[in-house]
Amino acid sequence: MLRFHGTVRSSRVALSGLLSLSLAACGGGGSGSSNTTSPPASTVTFSVNTKSLQFTATGANDATPASQAITATVTGNPTGTLYVLVNANGDAVSQVGNIVISGNSGQGSVSVKPPSLVGVGSHTSTITIRACLNDQTCTTGQLSGSPQAVNVTYTVNATPVADTVMPHTLAAGISGQIIVRGHGLMGVTSVAFGSTPATSLSVVSDSELHVNYPSTLPAGTYPVSLNGGAIAFSGTVAVVATPAFSAQTLTFPEQPTRLLEMVYDAERGALFVAAAFSQSGNNKLWRYTYSGGAWSASPQVIPIPDLRDITFSADHSRLLVSTSFTLTEYDATNPAAGALKTLASIPSASSVTTPFFKMLALSNDGNIIINSGEISVSGDLDAYLYSAATGTIAPFANFSALLYSLGDDNVSTIRASADGSHVFGINGGGSPASKALIYTTATQVFMQAPFTAGSGYEQRVALDSSASKVAVYTNTGMSVYDSSNKLLGSISIAPLVFVINPQGTRAYAFTFDRFLIAYDLTSATGGSALAQVGASVSQQLPTANEAAVILSAISPDGATIFLASDAGIAVVPAPL
């Protein structure tokens, strides 16, 4: 006769279970009790049906693989109480449950964690199963064959990546690093930009290279070749000698309700400004161009109803545009021609009655991360992940779940580094501090950053090209961290805008009293105050409403800062 007395318990770091079974040998007597002396444990054997289990997910935003079963069997004729202890350690398994006992066998289901929780890569756990007689700790009486180990391997595959180089636009006369994404890159031993070899390279994986380029690359567009062209690759870089812009003001053709985003296209000498109006159907995209040593007096006007955000594609040939309900592409050279292609529409399945797309961030793995807003609220907001490789969009499970766990349902700021390696999000709630989230292409999931951000500030994070320097607003100032999230330094001024140059050597604060202040980031360590470089520079900004949102952009060489308010743009030579 067998009776199941135990339960299975779980925790975050390990799983453990205890099963106790009352066993009786046959022929013991009418009452079901037995006078038979228990045989030694060594005459009873214990086994499991498998030594390994393998799980696979096609991507970090994929569904969790189905559970798999393990069967354990006791042979022989034991009497007394049989105890079975189950422990699982590692980052793959979430639980061993649904224990069913039948005869001399027991079966349990092994479940792994959601791929959005563990991220891309290979994850392992070891399930250890012990069986013993009359000792619930299994210190004594362990059966022959006990313990049994089942090794669990859980592989979360990375999203397929098209040939990509980020950042695409490089500054002439300045050395730096790009990230090359593609296929079959493990065998790469040399990289060249046209006929100019890279100064060094690091093979990160079969789909990722980190490549350093020299300062001797002259202005021009260059194909990126791998092993002299032996490995097929279609990515390019544009090396740009940014003009020595003089201080100038560019006025808007009309005053918007607020600005949404501003981006600088150094390859074509153009500034894009996304502007919102009281009726979102009147939202517009403005494009200023620089030619012959002068900026256009008035911008090209592209009406885009319900415009929400803009960013460039990886090769800067396309302008990615989010409207309230669509993700579209425009030709960066001629956006007035209209949308070239609708990439995705907001999914109909949502926990909110009427969600809308909001802000965009592009990573170098081909994913576009989009957070959402709400028109009428009846649930928690979703974030979305658009995959260029598959052309599909779906709720971004990890991003949304992490936000909910932090006690908020939205992100007020989302920003990607120019090389696409990191995306930072700051959740919208939190008083006095909000949580910071970090997405990396290594895992393709968001994690909570070990620092917080201030609330009530529009641009709450600033990055250099590779996210080696990250500045976060703190209500009373700005704190600058390195790529390992170590605090490098801070300022005690809470600026309207904080800008870091692409090289990560200088930071600029535009203050409430209209001064531009430069700070040195090259010697920032230990969290002390950042050293100011030179004197504070008085800087006027065309503004109709002093409380207007202020946006910023910076040229690839870090020599020019663009500041935009609700009346126009100030083109500002950076104080070096």
Query: 462 and 420 in contact (C-beta within 8 Å)?
Result: no
Q: Work out the end-to-end distance of the chain between its first and last CA atoms, rounded to an integer number of angstroms.
A: 85
Task: pLDDT band for 218, please (50, 70, 90 cuts).
Answer: very high
Tell the CATH topology of 7-156: Immunoglobulin-like (2.60.40)
Q: What is the pLDDT of residue 8?
A: 32
Report the distance separating Cα 554 and Cα 531, nearest Å: 21
Element (H, E) at 115: helix 115-118
Burial of 41 (0-12, 13-18, 19+ CB in 10 A): buried
164-240 matches 7-156 in CATH topology: yes
The answer for residues whose C-beta is within 8 angstroms of residue 479's C-beta and 6 or more apart is 451, 471, 472, 487, 489, 490, 527
* Digit-coded pLDDT (tens) for 290-347: 998 999 999 999 999 999 999 999 999 999 999 999 999 999 999 999 999 999 998 8
Q: What share of the chain is helix, strand, coil (3-state, %, to 5)?
A: 5, 50, 45
Q: What is the pLDDT of residue 32?
A: 36
Tell me the percentage of the chain whose pLDDT exceeds 90: 64
* Digit-coded pLDDT (tens) for 8-27: 333 222 344 555 555 443 33
Task: pLDDT band for 455, please (50, 70, 90 cuts).
Answer: low
* Digit-coded pLDDT (tens) for 137-158: 888 889 999 999 999 999 999 9
Delimit the domains of the chain by residue range: 7-156, 164-240
**Sign of torsion, CA 177 453 117 17?**
positive
Angle 461-467-469 from CA coordinates, rounded to 5° = 75
Query: 212 and 199 in contact (C-beta within 8 Å)?
Result: yes
pTM above 0.95, yes or no: no
Rounded mean pLDDT, 74-78: 83
- Asked: is 164-240 a CATH 2.60.40.10 domain? The reply is yes
* Digit-coded pLDDT (tens) for 506-527: 999 999 899 999 999 998 677 7
Q: What is the pLDDT of residue 413?
A: 81
Query: 500 and 462 in contact (C-beta within 8 Å)?
Result: yes
Report the distance separating Cα 554 and Cα 500, nearest Å: 8
Q: What is the pLDDT of residue 21?
A: 52
Residues paired with 116 in a beta bridge: none
Task: pLDDT band for 348, please (50, 70, 90 cuts).
Answer: confident
* Digit-coded pLDDT (tens) for 485-502: 899 999 998 898 999 999
Task: pLDDT band for 2, please (50, 70, 90 cuts).
Answer: very low
